[in-house]
């Protein structure tokens, strides 16, 4: 498997299903192997005939974010209309895949970023970036408050919230907002009702969906269409230090929304009303300021307002939840050791049952859509294979519905992944994985993968960026270790990295590498490189100074180099404030205790440094600092800078260049011909 194979592999999108559970639509993104241009095709599948061939839909132009309406039509986003703005369109659709001529549903003044249809088909909620004082979906001057002129300077105030987020400068006065419209004759009617209520003193000001990663999962219609639940965090001077996302309710009367979770100052998200309209399920954290706290499912009685923590006794963090159509069960996903299985939760008792949906390891299950008749539609991926669509019936093991990437994988050399555990720091059980070519003869150099987060995991899942299979296909054995701080092992294990960035995690990596070499004698530990991004990049800088004699080379991507300058240059300040016990001014000793810059004098391992100029989470100056340190120490080094990339490398051509540069670096120092 080459980098070209990875970059051009077809990519399956999340499925959507019709209300009767008979039809499903999913997207497949294809990449041209020469131009690297990406195109997306929508496919329709009849779930009553799982063996039938899916039908490609021809909608006569661009189409994304498909959704089934209660009227049986297909709704989608497209920029095909006059003016080139993105609007909602609809097209008649039957089970054979025959579509009628698309008709424009919305004609608002700015781009529609997404939409949610009410279950009764009588209303639609639109979301996009709109000025807070604009009473309609788009006004002249949206997004220009920070452009006072006459020059092109951006002017911000300390009273505002974020100045920049992830990879974009913020636009004071403009926010992600949601408006609800009536659907009359298949078209949005009227000026729309702003869910954040009228502008003015005391009004809700904030982004819905939350930025930068929120989506439609944060917006949910009441089953009877009487109102909308949505998640938002107030935007003000405290926003960069706050994780206080709340769930709000708007009854569409034009009044201000009601904050349903005002009592909790931590995150509340993923609102999901039961189909019978009696309950609101949502996920909530308990500790303000901690973005990696455990997400517990809560249940609110919509008639009385009584709320209880449903899964408090289950020590896993739920990342998605959905009701079965009969309101009998909640189906949710959560990381568990190296898998992300689905769980069935009884809303009456809170009992949590892991579902056995796959033969062998569950690997990574996502995009779960409960259907009538005890059926589940979902995607499943692993280290060995990208996502495919599956259907489970009667809560039993699922059958595949797609083979989007199967024919491509069939011509590639197979890999094998082995899970292992060992006694890490404090004698705790720590898990890892070894991925290598299946059946390869002779020794293999070792590549130690270090994940980011740091509250994350290199679990058994497919990645289009840090992909163990494509690295193993170059003849290396990829070893990943879920060190203290990783997710999927209970909240105490995740919390263990707090104020200890360079302590237990480094010990786990050292012991994990040794355990893997003992377990698999084919791995040549005398030839080894390590690589990681974000916190993994931090660890490369930390290893360079604290474990300088172990590796032949390092690959450091978007890594933190100087903790003091990082604190004052990043955007989400709640993150370092939690992990380092306050701001830099409040606890400088801890920041400096785990600061790689203090150990530059020990640096001797050749390092490839990679950064994106639009990375506002770990600004590119951190990479320049590390590269300068390497140069000053006369350590062989390279610096790869992507002017248009953020914390990730997303462009296909840039991804190809990233892989080719990394592979050349590994080959150079591990002696591969």
pLDDT per residue over 523-535, tens digit each?
999 999 999 999 9
Q: Is residue 587 part of a domain?
A: yes
Residue 67 reports pLDDT greater than 70? yes
CA distances from 275 to 133, 160, 369 (A): 34, 39, 13
Dihedral angle at the C-alpha atoms of 333, 335, 341, 347, nearest 10 degrees?
A: -40
CA distances from 436 to 119, 171, 523 (A): 48, 47, 9
Cα dihedral 355, 359, 362, 366 sign: negative
Strand spans (E) along 84-167 = 87-91, 103-104, 114-117, 123-131, 164-165
Q: Which of 29-38, 88-97, 602-611 has the lowest mean pLDDT?
A: 88-97
Question: At 473, which CATH number?
Answer: 3.40.50.1820
Residue 597 reports pLDDT greater than 60? yes
Q: Is residue 566 part of a domain?
A: yes
CA distances from 133 to 23, 64, 197, 208, 472 (A): 41, 29, 10, 15, 54
Residue 95: what pLDDT? 83
Per-residue pLDDT band for 114 (boundaries 50, 70, 90) equals very high
**pLDDT tens per residue, range 260-285:** 999 999 999 999 999 999 999 999 99
Tokens of 477: 């054995």
Q: Which of 184, 188, 178 is nearest to 113 (CA)?
A: 178
% of the chain exceeding 70 in pLDDT = 100
What 3-state DSSP class applies to 116? strand
Cα dihedral 504, 506, 508, 514 sign: negative
Q: Is residue 640 part of a domain?
A: yes
**What is the mean pLDDT of the segment spanning 627-651?**
98
Residue 422: what pLDDT? 98
pTM of the predicted structure, to 2 decimals: 0.96
Residue 74 reports pLDDT greater than 60? yes
- Cβ neighbors of 480 (< 8 A, separation 6 or more) are 432, 433, 435, 448, 449, 450, 451, 458, 468
Q: Is residue 635 part of a domain?
A: yes
Q: Is residue 260 part of a domain?
A: no
Q: Is residue 283 part of a domain?
A: no
Residue 51: what pLDDT? 84
β-pair partners for 380: 365, 388
**What is the mean pLDDT of the segment spanning 199-212?**
95
**What is the mean pLDDT of the segment spanning 583-603?**
98
Domain span at residue 593?
413-670
**What is the mean pLDDT of the segment spanning 219-236?**
97
Residue 410 reports pLDDT greater than 70? yes
Residue 672: what pLDDT? 66
Residue with tokens 């604290």: 546
The single-letter DSSP state of residue 122 is: S
**Around 523, how many Cα atoms within 13 Å sit in the side-chain half-sphere?**
24
**What is the mean pLDDT of the segment spanning 553-568?**
98
Residue 226: what pLDDT? 97
Residue 445 reports pLDDT greater than 70? yes
Measured CA to CA, the distance from residue 435 to residue 448 in angstroms comes to 11
Residue 186 reports pLDDT greater than 70? yes
Q: Is residue 565 part of a domain?
A: yes
**pLDDT tens per residue, range 132-159:** 999 999 998 888 888 888 999 999 999 8
Tokens of 232: 């938002």
Q: Is residue 347 part of a domain?
A: no
**pLDDT tens per residue, range 281-312:** 999 999 999 999 999 999 999 999 999 999 99
Number of domains in the chain: 1
Please count the residues of the chain.
Answer: 673
């Amino acid at each position: 498997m080459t980098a070209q194979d990875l970059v051009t592999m077809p990519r399956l999108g999340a499925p959507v299903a019709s209300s009767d559970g008979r039809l499903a639509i999913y997207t497949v993104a294809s990449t041209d192997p020469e131009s690297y241009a990406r195109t997306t095709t929508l496919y329709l599948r009849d779930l009553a005939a799982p063996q039938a061939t899916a039908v490609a839909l021809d909608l006569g132009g661009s189409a994304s974010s498909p959704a089934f309406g209660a009227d049986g039509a297909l709704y989608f986003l497209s920029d095909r209309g006059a003016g080139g703005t993105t609007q909602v369109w609809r097209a008649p659709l039957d089970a054979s895949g025959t579509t009628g001529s698309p008709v424009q549903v919305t004609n608002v003044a700015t781009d529609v970023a997404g939409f949610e249809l009410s279950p009764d088909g009588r209303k639609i909620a639109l979301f996009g970036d709109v000025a807070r004082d604009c009473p309609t979906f788009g006004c002249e001057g949206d997004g220009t408050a920070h452009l006072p002129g006459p020059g092109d300077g951006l002017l911000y105030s300390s009273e505002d919230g974020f100045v920049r987020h992830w990879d974009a400068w913020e636009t004071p006065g403009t926010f992600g907002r949601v408006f609800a419209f009536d659907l009359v004759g298949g078209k949005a009617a009227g000026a729309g009702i702003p869910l954040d209520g009228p502008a003015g003193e005391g009004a809700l000001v904030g982004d819905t969906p939350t930025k930068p990663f929120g989506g439609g999962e944060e917006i949910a219609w009441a089953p009877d269409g009487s109102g909308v639940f949505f998640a938002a965090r107030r935007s003000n001077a405290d926003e960069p230090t706050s994780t206080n996302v709340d769930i709000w309710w708007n009854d569409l009367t034009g009044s201000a929304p009601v904050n349903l979770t005002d009592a909790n100052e931590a995150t509340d998200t993923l609102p999901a009303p039961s189909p019978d309209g009696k309950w609101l399920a949502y996920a909530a954290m308990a500790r303000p300021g901690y973005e990696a706290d455990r997400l517990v499912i809560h249940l609110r009685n919509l008639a009385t307002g009584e709320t209880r923590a449903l899964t408090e006794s289950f020590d896993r963090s739920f990342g998605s939840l959905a009701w079965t159509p009969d309101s009998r069960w909640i189906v949710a996903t959560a990381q568990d050791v190296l898998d992300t299985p689905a769980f069935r939760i009884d809303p009456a008792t809170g009992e949590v049952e892991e579902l056995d949906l796959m033969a062998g390891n569950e690997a990574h299950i996502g995009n779960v859509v409960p259907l009538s008749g005890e059926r589940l539609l979902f995607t499943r991926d692993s280290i060995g294979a990208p996502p495919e669509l599956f259907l489970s019936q009667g809560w039993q093991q699922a059958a595949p519905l797609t083979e989007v990437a199967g024919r491509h994988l069939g011509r590639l050399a197979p890999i094998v992944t082995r899970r292992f555990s060992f006694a890490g720091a404090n004698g705790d059980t720590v898990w890892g994985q070894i991925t290598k070519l299946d059946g390869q003869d002779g020794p293999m150099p070792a590549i130690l993968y270090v994940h980011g987060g740091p509250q994350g995991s290199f679990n058994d899942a497919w990645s289009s960026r840090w992909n163990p299979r494509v690295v193993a296909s170059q003849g290396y054995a990829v070893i990943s270790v879920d060190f203290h701080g990783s997710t999927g092992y209970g909240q105490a294990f995740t919390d263990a990295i707090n104020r200890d960035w360079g302590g237990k995690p480094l010990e786990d990596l050292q012991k994990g590498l040794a355990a893997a070499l003992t377990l698999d004698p084919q791995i040549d530990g005398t030839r080894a490189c390590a690589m990681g991004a974000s916190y993994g990049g931090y660890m490369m800088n930390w290893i360079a100074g604290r474990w300088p004699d172990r590796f032949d080379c390092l690959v450091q991507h978007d890594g933190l180099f100087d903790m003091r300058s990082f604190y004052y240059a990043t955007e989400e300040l709640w993150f370092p404030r939690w992990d380092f016990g306050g701001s830099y001014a409040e606890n400088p000793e801890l920041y400096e205790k785990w600061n790689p810059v203090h150990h530059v004098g020990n640096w001797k391992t050749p390092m490839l440094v990679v950064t994106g100029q639009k990375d506002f989470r770990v600004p590119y100056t951190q990479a320049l600092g590390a590269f300068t340190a390497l140069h000053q120490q006369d350590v062989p080094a390279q610096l790869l800078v992507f002017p248009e990339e953020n914390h990730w490398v997303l462009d296909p051509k840039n991804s190809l260049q990233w892989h080719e540069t990394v592979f050349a670096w590994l080959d150079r120092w591990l002696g591969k011909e």
